[in-house]
Amino acid sequence: MSETEYVTPQPVPCNECPAGMMHARLITYFTWMGDELITVPHFPAWVCDVCGKREYDEKAISWLTMLLSPDAGRPTHRHRKPHLPRPRTGPAHAAPES
């Protein structure tokens, strides 16, 4: 992707509160990929100046989803740990046989 001039979009009315306006901001986006927490700095989002509601940019979300999608990314095979049977450590009290 080439660096394009980021035009600040017009604020839009918040749909969560009557007075708020949502402004385009760059925030840090957090998402979970399986067990891993992914953080994306400078992620475009809309933030309400009154109630603080956040809405992420749809295009950016779909772009990120595509990036993080297992089909688009590395074809690593995440394999789960096999359920191992509890190893026997032998008898705690070795009773001598009579």
Q: Which residues bind Zn ion (CB under 5 A)?
A: 14, 16-17, 20, 48, 50-51, 53
As measured in angstroms, the least distance from the Cβ of 80 to Zn ion is 42
Within 8 A by CB and 6+ apart from 27, the residues are 42, 43, 45, 47, 54
Under 8 Å between Cβ of 50 and 17: yes
Query: Cβ closer to Zn ion: 16 or 26?
Result: 16
Q: In this complex, which beta carbon is closest to Zn ion, that of residue 14 or of residue 45?
A: 14
Least gap, CB of 46 to Zn ion (angstroms)? 10
For Zn ion, the closer CB: 22 or 44: 22
Q: Can you read off the two tokens belonging to residue 40?
A: 């994306």
Contact 17, 51 (CB under 8 A): yes
Q: Is 37 helix (H, G, I), strand (E, B) or coil?
A: strand
Find the residue with minimal CB distance to Zn ion.
20
User: Do the beta carbons of residue 45 and residue 56 sit within 8 Å?
Assistant: yes
Please report how close the Cβ of residue 52 comes to Zn ion at its closest, in angstroms: 7
Pick the closer one to Zn ion by CB: 29 or 46: 46
